[in-house]
Chains A and B, each alone.
Chain A
């Protein structure tokens, strides 16, 4: 009898814990667009959003399908929305960017945000998630927005990569015809699927506990130098322990005639078998570097990165290579490496394809060569 009562009690507890928690998603999310925003919120569909209890915690699944309208007079090339859940993760924030857009004035376009929050206790009354506009990039590379996430630089760099890669594929189409374009697409698809990838875990500050027993040593960076890069890497190192690297530091020199505000270094790690992986990008720590012509500066971060593959298999670091992947000048212009330089340095097979190249290959796979040619002819 007692056993039966205990089973009934346990079943009751489990049933209570598994039930959905009442949640009004419309009161849980706040979407803020400034009054003078070039985008207008047309609709916010939160239909599949729900909250459920997991033990003593609450899991909140927010599936937002926003429809925005370009209310400006220029074509929109990219949008970044800032997503913050300060009550859940006070030290963290997130963003959703849609680059490689081509939205005409008055046209609507969708942005999806799929967010999951896990927090102890019950869901409070106020909004858990705030969605704010961080920036809009237009066709002429002008920008609107508070730019809290430096999205102006990111979206401008992506748009320049898009222009570079469209130009490359259009040149192939012009010189080798549709068959040449098809061959280039197949090569790109193969590169994207064969590119070795790493799982990277990022944490701020000191070493991770799991590898604390492995002796740490300072390892030097080797560098790839592009002839037309306005900034060159001079020296660099990081503390290495097994599959963990921390506190990277790279000295750079501005060899251009303009003041440089931002430098980003691409960071490649090599494992013991000689396989190279794109591990991370390394931007300067301060929001702006202010590097006058001819002067030197240091790109550094107090971060710890742990590398693994195949669901947790550690990848011990045998070597590191750096290259300048992005430079922002004082006038807002951005430098990125050209395709010839990337191909010459054997980087095309290591780096991820640009968002635009990924979009174009996806279009080719799903809709065929004619759709791709039509798309390229729009630009």
Chain B
């Protein structure tokens, strides 16, 4: 069996392959355990990288407000100084400095307003927004906005095929249940995860 190259698997994991190439890779991955593991590894790496490139949340409104306040403070301070020095004759150099300072302030204000407009603050996360319950190979996972909680069934016995002997059931009210017999104790254990 000819395996796809590592770059192809990486692009497939990141959903960056073209349609035909993606279908070809999908067919191969479905029947090749080695490549499936490679794709899972790339997917996990991709998820990790998302965390790396995340820009910390900034309050642009607050930033702009601070910039405006600093500019006003600067202008007020300039007025005070000009009042004290009004008797002294102004040289062409001081006029140039004032013009440059004003121009700089105008640029700062414009940049602040622009940033404030182009990046609206993110809406608050509702209690049940994007909450998804699903069964994974090792447990039941509740995912909410990139954070997750999983109840694992690591003590479940294995079926002859190697799969964990776990019975899943869903509750339409927003719950999922995994039931298994504990390897050590022989007791039935029922893990249940709920979306409130």
- Chain A interfacial positions (CB closer than 8 Å to B): 17, 54-57, 63, 83, 85, 88-101, 109-120, 149, 192-193, 197, 199-205, 248, 267, 278-283, 285, 301, 303, 305, 352-353, 355-356, 358-359, 362-363, 366
Contact across chains for A116 and B149 when beta carbons are under 8 A apart? yes
Tell whether B8 is near chain A: CB-to-CB under 8 Å.
Answer: no
Residues of chain A within 8 A (CB-CB) of B146 are 57, 120
Residues of chain B within 8 A (CB-CB) of A110 are 184-185, 187
B24 nearest CB across to chain A (Å):
18
Give A355's nearest chain B residue, CB to CB.
Answer: B188
Contact across chains for B52 and A205 when beta carbons are under 8 A apart? no
Contact across chains for A99 and B181 when beta carbons are under 8 A apart? no
Chain B contact residue count (CB 8 A cutoff): 56
Residues of chain B within 8 A (CB-CB) of A109 are 185, 187
Contact across chains for A117 and B174 when beta carbons are under 8 A apart? no
Mask, B73-100, CB within 8 Å of A = 1, is: 0000000000000000000000000000
Tell whether B43 is near chain A: CB-to-CB under 8 Å.
Answer: no
Distance between Cα atoms of A281 and B157 in the complex (Å) = 25
Residues of chain B within 8 A (CB-CB) of A99 are 188, 190
Give A61's nearest chain B residue, CB to CB.
Answer: B152
Q: Which of A88, A203, A285 contacts B173 (CB 8 A)?
A: A285
Give B196's nearest chain A residue, CB to CB.
Answer: A91
Give B193's nearest chain A residue, CB to CB.
Answer: A94
Inter-chain contact total with CB atoms closer than 8 Å: 197
Residues of chain A within 8 A (CB-CB) of B142 are 89, 92, 94
B147 nearest CB across to chain A (Å):
5
Mask, B175-196, CB within 8 Å of A = 1, is: 1100101101111111111111
Residues of chain A within 8 A (CB-CB) of B6 are none
Distance between Cα atoms of A111 and B193 in the complex (Å) = 17
Contact across chains for A358 and B181 when beta carbons are under 8 A apart? yes
Tell whether B47 is near chain A: CB-to-CB under 8 Å.
Answer: yes
Among A91, A115, A203, A356, the most chain B Cβ lie within 10 Å of the Cβ of A91
Contact across chains for A114 and B149 when beta carbons are under 8 A apart? no
Contact across chains for B172 and A281 when beta carbons are under 8 A apart? yes
User: Which 10 A-B pairs give the minimum distances between C-beta atoms?
Assistant: A55-B48, A55-B51, A56-B51, A114-B152, A200-B170, A280-B170, A355-B188, A92-B142, A97-B190, A116-B150
Distance between Cα atoms of A285 and B148 in the complex (Å) = 25
Q: Which of B168, B169, B185 contacts A281 (CB 8 A)?
A: B169
Known: A55-B47, A83-B151, A115-B152. A279 touches B170 (CB 8 A): yes
Residues of chain A within 8 A (CB-CB) of B191 are 94-96
Contact across chains for B189 and A91 when beta carbons are under 8 A apart? no
Tell whether B34 is near chain A: CB-to-CB under 8 Å.
Answer: no
Contact across chains for B176 and A204 when beta carbons are under 8 A apart? no
Contact across chains for B132 and A283 when beta carbons are under 8 A apart? no
Distance between Cα atoms of A111 and B54 in the complex (Å) = 39
Distance between Cα atoms of A281 and B192 in the complex (Å) = 13
Distance between Cα atoms of A200 and B172 in the complex (Å) = 10
Contact across chains for A202 and B176 when beta carbons are under 8 A apart? yes
Distance between Cα atoms of A63 and B139 in the complex (Å) = 13
Residues of chain A within 8 A (CB-CB) of B187 are 98, 100-101, 109-110, 359
Contact across chains for B195 and A202 when beta carbons are under 8 A apart? yes
Tell whether B133 is near chain A: CB-to-CB under 8 Å.
Answer: yes
Known: A56-B51, A98-B188. A118 touches B147 (CB 8 A): yes
Give A155's nearest chain B residue, CB to CB.
Answer: B190
Contact across chains for A200 and B176 when beta carbons are under 8 A apart? yes
Among B182, B185, B189, the most chain A Cβ lie within 10 Å of the Cβ of B189
Residues of chain B within 8 A (CB-CB) of A363 are 186
Among B132, B139, B173, the most chain A Cβ lie within 10 Å of the Cβ of B173
Distance between Cα atoms of A279 and B169 in the complex (Å) = 7
Known: A110-B187, A117-B149. 16 other contacts (CB 8 A): A56-B51, A91-B196, A93-B196, A96-B190, A96-B191, A98-B187, A98-B188, A111-B189, A115-B152, A203-B174, A204-B128, A280-B169, A281-B172, A282-B171, A282-B173, A285-B173
Known: A202-B170, A355-B188, A359-B181. A114 touches B153 (CB 8 A): yes
Known: A89-B142, A96-B190. A203 touches B127 (CB 8 A): no
Distance between Cα atoms of A282 and B173 in the complex (Å) = 7
Tell whether B38 is near chain A: CB-to-CB under 8 Å.
Answer: no
